[in-house]
Structure 1
Amino acid sequence: MKTVYRKIRRGSVLPDSPLDASPGGPKCQRATNFEDQLDGDACKEAMSLLNHATDKFLDRKGLVDQDFTLLFDADISSRLLQKWDTFFRPNVIKEAKRLSSTAELSQLLLSAEGDLDEARIYDQEMASLLLLIHLLPTPPGGPKSPKIGACDAVERLVIFHKSCGSLEEHLQNNQHQHPYLLAVGRQKSKIDSFYITLDKHLIPCQANRFLGAFDELFKAHFVFNLSYDSALVSFYTFLQTTVYNIDVGKMKESPRVKDLRARLFNQTVTLS
């Protein structure tokens, strides 16, 4: 997948973020756990196939998850899907209820708890992930990158696209410089398909649910060595170190990330 992306990305360089100074994270060079590495003529043949089949490989589902698992292992790769609903989602909801109420936050809470179908903006899993953005404020801005609010940061993570609209037109009009999730469907609570949008290319997600699709989006950063969006650094760093347990102790974490992790796990100790 890296070879394919390197070809389509020539002449297009995504900007770095403050995370790049960290010794860990998605831009850290890693050795794969792939034992059956091709060599000799077999390797040359495979490389030739990749050079002439870019679109074919981009359309194949599951390659991002496959490459991520080669970088780490199956246990790390499965952690979000295994632990989010059972532990993180209920505790994130509890923490979000402590925030000052806003219309957007109230809608996300209703959706995360599944109380009212008509109030849902996304399904319970995705709504709880978006609550995490509200719990981890965007970093201070600067002259070239002013600080944005949580609602604007959400739009950098996932964009809803009505199934009757043109995907090509969306790609041409979008100005995002970092990968994000494109959710295509009739309405936000009924999504038909998901795509990772990257440099005006669509990579179809294997998952048909929000949590699985987001899992693939997160993994794409590591597969393609991409920086996190500066507005979502705390959000992604929390998931990386606290949920996936990647580069724990190496990543530069904000005090807010450390504090939220401590509170979430303290709740478990208190309840037990």
Structure 2
Amino acid sequence: MQPIVYPHRSAPPKDKRTQYAFGIVTLFPSLKDPYSKKGYEHFCDADSNEGYIAWKLKNTQRELSDGSNSGVRRRSSQPSDSSGPELEREVTKEQQLEGDQCCEAISLLKHSTDKEQIFLKMRATFQHRQKLIHDPQRCSTVLTVFPRFLETKGLVLQDFELLFGAETSPKFLEKWGTLLKAKVIEQAKNLSKTPQLDYLIQSADKNPDEDDEVPGWDSNMASILLLVYLLPPSLKKGAVKISIWEAVNHVVKFHKAGFC
């Protein structure tokens, strides 16, 4: 990667990156992606400005930047939480891709149409995804790096199982309808009333058999969204304060079937 960086400094033009990508698959035909339009998008996609070369350049620039700052990174003096969504749990011991192999898998994921291959590559990049999620500077890019979450059913469940194990992962849904749901609705009724909160309580309290007839959230989803009211978003230093209803919209968005 050094021949790309130094002749063009730290920002080689897009046409040069595309030229290198084309040269790679020309010299090494086995690296050509048969599922993409030009065959080299996993190395350099001119439209999205992504791919292996872009990823490698970013890492090289980051390493050079770290070196100029003596390689010392500041760490927060505040102790980390011992629980909650920000806790870095011990993840699966399965073989995980790292470095260049991980980057290639991420690039291929964006162009592959083989569902079995998508699940295998997502499984093999799970460790990298967890590091991304726990990085405050990059956590918001998860769906950009792994857009398959938006269109492939079952990938979220696979990650949940890899994180918590096959024995633990189904317990939430097993206990939700019979034990937890009623308690959440009962506690939510004791909160200060707002139109949005009342709407969710009414949706959560309705008979599941009526969900298809009554527009809005179904009973189970509404009761899960009530958790946002019971566990309101905390405000970190420097963060923009948002309302609980805005936080609900960050959890899940509702789109009627058949509409764009």
TM range (shorter): 0.3 to 0.5
Q: Which has the higher strand share?
A: 1
- Which of structures 1 and 2 has the larger relative contact order (alpha carbons within 8 angstroms, sep 6+)? 1
Asked which structure has the greater CA Rg, the reply is 2
Q: TM-score normalized by structure 1? A: 0.43
